[in-house]
Structure 1
């Protein structure tokens, strides 16, 4: 069904291609899926999110007075991470904030490296994820381990939302060995999300370097994220993920955010997972608009 047209209700999305001029928010697609631990159509997700953005406006109490640019999708990012990293780096060079659309969680590696560049020694990482992502090998279960092995300090990694029965004792011990700060899902039932994110960003940004925030949507309850193959009952609420996206966008140390682990082909007919991701893009933009 075509969307209504109202000149007094302009729609979000359909952002222009880059021109080389500075922008506030750069959108990048990283459609990773080939190394996923489970079958996924996550490569279809960036396009689906762009379509879903049109359901919303760019008004959040006040208009988002920001300059947007859509840098398109990396080509075959699973096989050519260098190309994906270069696309993110290109976007980061002309923007204040990069928002990368996965793809599965393998997208976190080029998203982070492309933004950090040569600053890996001071960089920090915050993940909202039910899983540690510290597995061996190269997959959507290994991005955090890979970044640490490339030189990211484990003591500047904070993992928010780690869930019971979604990890193993081996990888929990590996997280402890790396010095990762873990904020368990149960803590989120007692604390406002904005406070948790503020704490996480303080730790991740303690060396004064750039921070990347990985919003793995399977941290959410399965009822609100059925398009995430690994989401479980009892995860966080949609409003909490939106709050985290806005808090991340508002923080001056955050230079990039990714949204990952959504399979657009497995979503419900009402597209509740894809629409949540689109709203998180706009929440990050709203946060960016609140920066001094």
Structure 2
């Protein structure tokens, strides 16, 4: 703790410090310009590409802050994450008005990250879901054939003609750019009254595997994950997780711009991430679609912070 005057502490310091507790935000180390940990966190604060009104650009800061609400110790696994540091590279600066330039900046920046650190495991914080298109393009260029496991209420396969690249089009953009194959995209949590029929048909035509909320209600999430990984592991070089927080029911994620009933509960999502992270081919993740201005006591950002911790825990558990 930094030296202060009397009991006056710098504003960034915790008011109470317990020597027996390490807060999860202490896992983040600012990049020193040279070395990097195995895990790298990057903020992608873009939400002007959202179809609905969204302040998701503020989420990277809020999620980082939410980590301070939790400790590094997982009591159920008896694992302390504190040795597994995460290099925080900061946020990609966005152009004020040019949305295509914003996407290009994301792709160039993430590609440069992989050039400098070829084996780094990225944890990318959106922003809206449009950030997944440029970031996954860079990921695929660096890591070969990529399988994507997407947690989402929506297909995000809208056409690119009506409104250009948006948070409704990232996986359509990736498929049309041939950055991923339809057979390598698995969507989990798709639910009623959140998609158009034409886009469900497009998913089927492209060979996308879709697990609806009804499927989740009738199957253990661990079994769904096991089947999903099994279908990908022998044909892809890397697996990437994309977590759209609106996969959760509105009761668990009030800070999502596109809230709705009938979604997943938070424990199911956390179990899925924990299980996925243990696979050695899972090499990256993004978390998107949180608007802190709509949230209640940072509930949604706190779930996102737990997603990060479960991801790290799964990697620690598997020793990979």
- Where does residue 62 of structure 1 map in the other structure? 79
- Aligned equivalents of 1:123 and 1:97: distance in 2? 14
Poorly superposed stretches of 4+, deviation over 6 Å: none
1:74 is aligned, of 92, 106, 117, to 92
1:101 aligns with 2:125: yes
What displacement does 1:232 show? 1.3
1:222 aligns with 2:236: no
What displacement does 1:51 show? 0.6
Contact 1:31 1:73 in 2 (8 A): yes
- Cα distance change, pair 3–247 in 1 and its aligned pair in 2 (3 A): farther
1:39 aligns with 2:61: no
Aligned residue pair count: 290
- Where does residue 16 of structure 1 map in the other structure? 29
Contact 1:71 1:91 in 2 (8 A): no
Contact 1:23 1:95 in 2 (8 A): no
- Aligned equivalents of 1:3 and 1:192: distance in 2? 42
Q: For 1:192-211, what aligned pairs fall within 5 Å after superposition?
A: 192-211=220-239
1:136 aligns with 2:159: yes
- Asked which structure has the greater CA Rg, the reply is 2
1:51 is aligned, of 58, 65, 79, to 65
- Where does residue 282 of structure 1 map in the other structure? 309
- Cα distance change, pair 265–212 in 1 and its aligned pair in 2 (3 A): same
1:125 is aligned, of 148, 159, 164, to 148
- Cα distance change, pair 202–22 in 1 and its aligned pair in 2 (3 A): farther
TM-score by length of 2: 0.85
What displacement does 1:89 show? 3.2
Q: Deviations over 1:160-196 (max 9, x none)?
A: 1110111111101000111101111111112222221
Unaligned stretches of 5+ residues in structure 1: none
Q: Deviations over 1:81-102 (max 9, x none)?
A: 2321233234442554211111
Contact 2:29 2:85 in 1 (8 A): no
- Aligned equivalents of 1:108 and 1:207: distance in 2? 21
- Aligned equivalents of 1:236 and 1:242: distance in 2? 10
